[in-house]
Amino acid sequence: DVKVTQSSRYLVKRTGEKVFLECVQDMDHENMFWYRQDPGLGLRLIYFSYDVKMKEKGDIPEGYSVSREKKERFSLILESASTNQTSMYLCASSLQRERGTQYFGPGTRLTVL
Amino acid sequence: SQQGEEDPQALSIQEGENATMNCSYKTSINNLQWYRQNSGRGLVHLILIRSNEREKHSGRLRVTLDTSKKSSSLLITASRAADTASYFCATANSGGGADGLTFGKGTHLIIQP
């Protein structure tokens, strides 16, 4: 069965802290994605990766960076967290060259105080 | 950029009735997908319809696609309390690459027992 896991369900951080959100998939998928979800705005793509050590900016990359050292793991990094980064963060993965089904993790609700 | 827009934003019906949600989009697509999200959880893929398809069924779900009108609809027949969730359409744009999906803001469906 397909599985995407995220390191934390809930996270509380302070302004200025460096924050790491981890995502792991066990499906040998090439593509991995990070979205944030906010009320009234839906899901917005932050970054995605189609191969190890490759990354592409999505619609709202400002204030974020990513790391993909291994195929199964995709990390989202907030270099200096700010209150406007309080949100639900969703990771997803999919097969390469197939704009098909994305499999989502359960999400991390991040609060920045 | 937001591509899909769902309509209505919220829908409340009685158990056993049919629920219809609509999605409009702006640019050419490779495929359109519908996802469900239960409160505070990740998204679950429901159904994918390709740009050369007009209708697709999966259990109690029926999806239609009209590329001339750039619109899609999701019909859930014989609704159940467990169908209470938010429903999102997502478009995969045509063209090369494997970039992320573009999601709408969702329809919140409530099934009254």
Kindly determine whether residue A96 and residue B98, on different chains, have CB atoms separated by under 8 Å: yes
**How far is A78 from A106, CA to CA, in rounded Å?**
19
- CB atoms inside a 10 Å sphere around CB A41: 13
Residue A109 or residue B1, greater confidence:
A109
Residue type, B23: C
Please give the full DSSP string across A30-99, using - where no structure is assigned: SEEEEEEEETTTEEEEEEEESSTT--EE-S--TT-EEEEEETTEEEEEESS--GGG-EEEEEEEE-TT--
Nearest CB partner across the interface for A99, out of B41, B43, B92 = B92
The shortest CB-CB distance from A99 to any of B31, B45, B103 is to B31
Q: What is the mean pLDDT of each run of 10 residues along chain B (113 residues)?
A: 73 96 91 92 93 96 96 97 95 69 91 93
- Between A55-59, A106-110, B64-68, the lowest mean confidence (pLDDT) is in A55-59
Decide: residue A3, CB within 10 A, 0-12 exposed, 13-18 middle, 19+ buried.
exposed
Quote the minimal CA–CA distance from A16 to chain B in Å: 26
pLDDT tens figures, A10-25: 999 999 999 999 999 9
Contacts of A101 in chain B (CB under 8 A): 33, 45, 48
What pLDDT is attached to residue B109?
96
Say if the Cβ atoms of B45 and A101 lie within 8 Å. Answer: yes
* Count of CB atoms situated within 10 Å of the CB of A6: 20
Q: What is the pLDDT of residue B2?
A: 45
